[in-house]
Chain A
Amino acid sequence: MGLIDTIGRLATRHTHVLVVEVPGWWRLRAAVERAVLARGWSLAVSPADADVLVVCGEPGPGMREVVDLVWHEMPGPRVRLDLQEYVDVARRLEEARLALLDDDRHRHDSRDRPTSADLLADEEEHPDHEHEHMDHGGGHEGMDHGEGHEHMDHGGGHEHMDHGGGHEHMHHGDMDMSPGGIPLAEGGEDRDGLEMDVLNVRLGPVLPHWPAGLVLRCSLQGDVIVDARAELVDGPPETTPEASHVAARRCDNVAALLALAGWEDASAEARGMRDALLDEHRPGAHSQAATSARLDRLQRRLRRSRVLRWSLRGVRRLSEDDVRRHGLPTHSAGDTYDRLLAMVDRVRSEETSVPGLDAGLLPSLVTGLDVATARLVVASLDLHELHAEHETHEVSHA
């Protein structure tokens, strides 16, 4: 008993948290990220890595479905927190920690949770639902961690059955086209006119450092995006951007881009600055001068790094004409490295609101790029709010 308790206490000291942001709730997400890191916990990058799922904001019907699927994909012991107001985040995390230690609860959870076979059978019973999924091609493939059935967890108690599990759903549906409920890749011509498999995958909406609520339905050849369609889960958010937080939001975007570029220290620095800027409105916070000095340091650091420049130079260079044609803000001109530096410069700007960007512009910017570069390009656009020009882009199943 003593040993199990000790392991539990030791384990929950380094809990991994998957944070899901509902569009319009980025400040709550930032607060959660900050509280998580301040406890010495980590931010998970996939459901498999997570012990605690934190949903920031009030999800609409589409987002709720996505979150439920992410929840099914978590291995357990698992705890879910739904935060819908700016509550005392640290206290809620402490509650989550105690819940993680409740062995009985997790024993029941593992016994009662649905297996992948259950979830797939569920889908068969609701042909409309199934049809909806099929329509989106291989959305099941799991780029998204939202719809990917292959992640369906069999839970601890079922672990030993995993070999059977895969075969069990072989007799479900179309055996040739979608073994295990996952459609196979189809052939198509690649850039050189040669036959190459095309795989349909979704990027988003639950993906680290990805704009909240955005889904890119991509056709991939290898990891090159040959075709893409953008959608917003549940449509654009109703909240209006809060004027005083533009600078902090920008730091958050800088942190995301640096994290995607694989530079953890610089990303942590940008994140720390975001938190300092959010604090400025509270009494007893850091002075503005200190934040400004920090910004100078980060700026120098970014300019000095040759590896960063080498890595981001030339990535999706946009000329002034391109920018005008796409209807992007003027500071989007140049390549991803230019956009990063410009973004950091603009942290100081006195802007109080940033016009939203039409999500429909993104596909043309990422088509032809591999997934890694596409992620860098999307992050370099300094997106604040997204809106969809055509409301038909909604993916809600409701």
Chain B
Amino acid sequence: MPDSMPGAAVTTVAPAWAVAAAAILAGLVVLAAMLDGALTARANAAPGGSARPFGEAARLMRQRRRTTVSADSLLWRTGAAGLVVAALLMVAVVPLGEWTIFDLDVGVGWFNAMDVMVWALVWLTGWGANSAHSLVGGYRFLAHGLGYELPLMFALVAPAVAAESLNVGRVAAAQADLWFAVWMPVAFLVYCLGVVAFSVWGPFAPALGADVAGGARAELSGVDRLVFEVGRYALLAAGAAFAVPMFLGGGAGPLLPGWLWVLVKTGALLGILVWLRRRLPAFRPDKFMEVGWMVLLPAVLVQDLVVAVVAAGRG
């Protein structure tokens, strides 16, 4: 990407800064896991809440990896480790204030492609272990996917139409007057639902349910389980980060510098998504399918229509 693309909304930094992006993502993962640990400890009236992620990580690094008979090891391990990669590729197109690593013209499409990749990764994790529980879990995720993916795609369309660009920096810049979350709330809510869903989080966790002994991750142990869990948190964090330029005005805000505003907004949204996990019962995949197609999809299409009419009126 040329640094001085005419009319570019953000500055592309040297690729080496990807390390910094990964570090920020790691920081968000740790914060999210600490919050979840604290909330879990509170519900169980137990000690040691916010230190939990460190203890769990130490535990999993100390635990042995295991395998199963006739496991498809390559695909199994790929699935478990791939979630982190997908999350990293997502944040690559998220501008931190005025800087971005990858100023892609079709950044919105890129993000969407990454979240679709999660379908394959979670399913492979369920498939590879050659175990009925895991496989049931993997398919449950696909069933959820059929319900949430199309609404999520059309939710991403709304900001892009309003900004007349698929470039994430330009979408953020188009919100100078009013955040998209304010005048396209349906798209924003459906987007958030999609983030929770592709992170296999909270109400979208039946794929990892206790009723099938942990579902897709039933057979994972040690470092394999660690990267899988980190991947889920990373996806949640990446989804929250991407919401900032898409719906929450990017780096715009008083007093603080742009990059800090991006982090503050990301952290706040991430906190809400983490908190949601324990508060809601699961959305059963078979029932959610109906909601996805009969409620969410029409609602978000109407939202797109409204946005398109407004955008055309302005033009």
> What residues of chain A have their CB less than 8 Å away from a CB belonging to chain B?
7-8, 10-16, 37-40, 45-46, 48-49, 51, 73, 75-77, 110, 116, 120, 141-143, 145, 148-156, 159, 162-163, 165-166, 169, 179-182, 199, 201, 207-209, 220, 222-223, 258-266, 268-269, 272, 305, 307-308, 310-311, 370-373, 375-376
Contact = CB atoms under 8 A, between A and B. Distances in A.
B281 to A, nearest CB: 4
Given A201-B132, A262-B206, A308-B281, A10 B71 contact: no
Given A51-B63, A307-B280, A262 B209 contact: yes
Nearest to A169: B69
Contacts of B68: 142, 150-152
Of B130, B132, B284, most A-chain CB atoms within 10 Å: B132
B133 interface: yes
User: Main SS of the interface on chain A?
Assistant: helix
A73 B61 CA distance: 18
Contacts of A75: 63-66, 221-222
Nearest 8 Cβ contacts at the A-B interface: A262-B282, A156-B64, A14-B55, A180-B70, A40-B48, A162-B67, A11-B59, A263-B281
Given A15-B59, A37-B46, A162-B73, 6 more contacts: A13-B48, A48-B218, A145-B213, A182-B130, A264-B43, A265-B43
A371 to B, nearest CB: 6
13 contacts: A10-B55, A39-B46, A45-B213, A145-B213, A148-B131, A151-B69, A155-B66, A180-B69, A180-B70, A260-B210, A310-B287, A311-B283, A371-B211
B29 interface: no
Interface residues of B, number: 62
B46 A263 contact: no
Contact of B210 (A45, A307, A311): A45
A270 B203 CA distance: 19
Contacts of B62: 7-8, 11, 77
B53 to A, nearest CB: 9
Interface in B274-315: 277-287
Of B43, B58, B129, B133, most A-chain CB atoms within 10 Å: B133
B133 to A, nearest CB: 6
Contacts of A182: 69-70, 130
Interface in B114-157: 129-133, 136, 139-140
B268 interface: no
Of B69, B131, B139, most A-chain CB atoms within 10 Å: B69
B41 A40 contact: yes
A364 to B, nearest CB: 20
Interface in B180-223: 203, 205-206, 209-214, 218-222
Of A8, A152, A308, A311, most B-chain CB atoms within 10 Å: A311
